[in-house]
Amino acid sequence: MKSVENIENLIRSNPWIHKLHKAGLLRIIAEPCDIDLEIAHISYIEVKKPNSQALLFLNPTNSSGAKFAPVLTNVFGSFEALNLILGREVEEIAGEIEALLKPKKPKNFKEKIDFLSYLVSLRKVFTKRKKVQGECQQVVHTGADVDLGALPILKTWKNDGGAFITMGQVYTKDLNGDTQNLGMYRLQVYDKNRLGMHWQIHKDGAHLYHEYARAGRKMPVSVAIGGDPLYIWCGQAPLPKGVFELLLYGFIRKEPACLVKSITNDIYVPHDADFVIEGFVEPGEMCDEGPFGDHTGFYTPILPFPVMRVEAITHKTNPIFAATVVGKPPLEDKFMGYATERIFLPLFRTSAPDLIDYRMPENGVFHNLILAKFHSRYPAHAQQLMHAFWGVGQMSFVKHAIFVGEDAPNLGDYRALAKFILDRISPRSLTFSEGVCDQLDHASPNACFGGKLGIDVSQPSASPAPQVLSDEDLLESFHSVKKDVVSLAQHFTECKNPFVLVNLKKTSSVRETFEQLCKEAGANFKILIFTDEKNDPNNLYMSLWRVVNNIDALRDVFINGEHIGIDATSKGAQDGYDRQWPGETLCSREVLETLVARGLIERDEEFWHKFEIV
């Protein structure tokens, strides 16, 4: 255990720990906690709370009794923490971007001077390279002293393939050395000096790697951990290809990111990082990576990825290891994604000028669902915007997009918006397409490529409402038609097109079940959404998460007259699905019981059920 004096010194010595602590956004855990599951489970539960805090684990350990540097999790765990890290409101940053994109002509001499002063201040956007060693290089390990096992790298889920670095800033550069890139990718620990580089095929890091591979040259890589949290947010920002992400840091901070050269390669990294892992990726050297319970809430499969051979590990004298925990929503990416969504709206409008606003709900897992409000000016305008979405940068990975007109409620008022959509949706409002998908998507029949669905509810629907029965009577009616129906819950029955979540014990084709129910009981429903038995049909938050994860629109959305059916069940050979359907991320009940007994978490079965934690 660290003494009170040592804890105070640690807080004072780290500016971001100090800021979080001073703002009441930090919880300090002095009790020894295992880097295998325990720290991750505590963090996973904490980030889902309405008043979640960042967690500083002072005494990480493992089953062998080894002790490690402190671990910081959930640094982006609230809107308050997000604003603290950005230094100002997201709308202010978005407004500044919009003003740059649409500059106004100065009306007088003072406005001219102010505008020129602002342009001069933009010189601070560019990074600054220091010629001295940084704080991140106060301690240097090279050669035989390199040991990734000495770092408190977490194992999050029981079925993970091992320990993974989850909040690494992965710095690379192009083959000519002209441009650096910063990305946020997971890295699996294989042994003391090898890491698996999870570069998804659409990421800039993967594109740069292929340049080196074609040239037969090894690729330098440096992975920074810790320092200013804004670095990691910039690393996942959807900037145009070729733009170094730390330019965005300078734009937001109004001061340049200060970088220092790595010890063993030519990559420049933030001077204030807590740890830096340096090495090279050899062309053609691949190793199986995974499984890993990712931010979709599902395990990704074991697949070959490039290997990083570590040649040096440097760190501060008293470093703190930053980590994030992924799985089912809500997570830190709720807050990180909100900033991305708001700040980049003005840039997105340059490709879709009639766009008013958009939202990516966290339980829609961002790429799986987008809500968009636009100025509806002519027939098929929504379809035009759909294809603009599917053709722009990272938006091209969006699977499901719902478009509403300017008369719709605020996109953040999800209940009012749902009613608006359900009063207008019909089979005629659906547009099907296909294209690139996120590599983490498991529902598409082919990895990285699958169906897409656009829904245009900018116009009212003349469709009549169904004759709504009670849940009990509807279940009895369904059960008389199909014994596979286990339970159900109707939602928004006051709307023209309510939907029914139907749990199945699937023994036959879901499409056939849908057709039978339409034939025998179609007057009593409009939209049927089929899920597996484990889904709670009364839990809309997690049901939406499961549905948008589990469907491929071209395969799993059915139309019968005025009825819409959606198959969100797990798929297998009987569905023509020949990939392996993944398992969901679940905390270990045994670990949770241990943490409860030690007073590190509270037992709250209702909360655990709400977010499907176990």
Which residues does the annotation mark as catalytic?
294
Burial of 85 from C-beta contacts in 10 A (0-12 / 13-18 / 19+): buried
The tokens 């200060």 sit on which residue? Answer: 258
Contact between 425 and 408 (Cβ < 8 Å):
no
CA dist 210 → 174, 194, 203, 204 (Å) = 10, 20, 11, 10
- List, in order, residues 6 or more apart from 146 with CB less than 8 Å away: 192, 193, 310, 311, 312, 313
Burial degree of 378 (CB within 10 A; 0-12, 13-18, 19+) = exposed
Q: What gap in Å lies between CA 452 and CA 435, rounded to an integer?
A: 7
**Strand, helix or coil for residue 407:** coil
User: Contact, 47 vs 77, CB < 8 A?
Assistant: yes
The C-alpha R_g of the chain, in whole angstroms, comes to 25
How many residues are there in the chain? 614
User: How many whole angstroms separate alpha carbon 158 and alpha carbon 586?
Assistant: 8
Which residue, chain included where needed, has tokens 């580089």? Answer: 197
Q: Where are the alpha helices (DSSP H) in 299-432?
A: 332-343, 345-349, 381-389, 414-422
DSSP states along 349-363:
HTT-TTEEEEE--GG
Task: Give the bridge partners for 36, in sequence order.
Answer: 155
Q: Which two tokens stand for residue 1?
A: 């255990």
- Which residues 6+ apart lie within 8 Å of 508 measured at CB? 484
Classify residue 599 as exposed, middle or buried by CB count within 10 Å of its CB (0-12, 13-18, 19+): exposed
For the chain, what percentages of helix, strand and coil (3-state, to nearest 5) are there?
A: 35, 25, 40
What angle, 0 to 180 degrees and rounded to 10, lies between the N-to-C axes of helices 79-86 and 332-343?
A: 50
User: Looking at this protein, which amino acid is placed at residue 94?
Assistant: A
Residue 47: exposure state from Cβ atoms within 10 A (0-12, 13-18, ≥19): buried
Beta strand residue intervals within 42-119, DSSP E: 54-57, 60-61, 71-73
Is the CB of residue 236 less than 8 Å from the CB of residue 181? Answer: no
CA separation for the pair 337, 319 (Å, rounded) = 27
> Which of the 8 DSSP states describes residue 582?
P
Distance CA 463, CA 447 (A): 37
The verdict on whether omega for the bond into residue 330 sits within 30 degrees of 0, i.e. cis, is yes
Fill in the DSSP letter of residue 160.
S
Helices (H), 451-563: 471-481, 510-521, 540-550, 553-556
How far apart are alpha carbons 467 and 493 in whole angstroms? 10
Residue 446, strand partner residues:
449
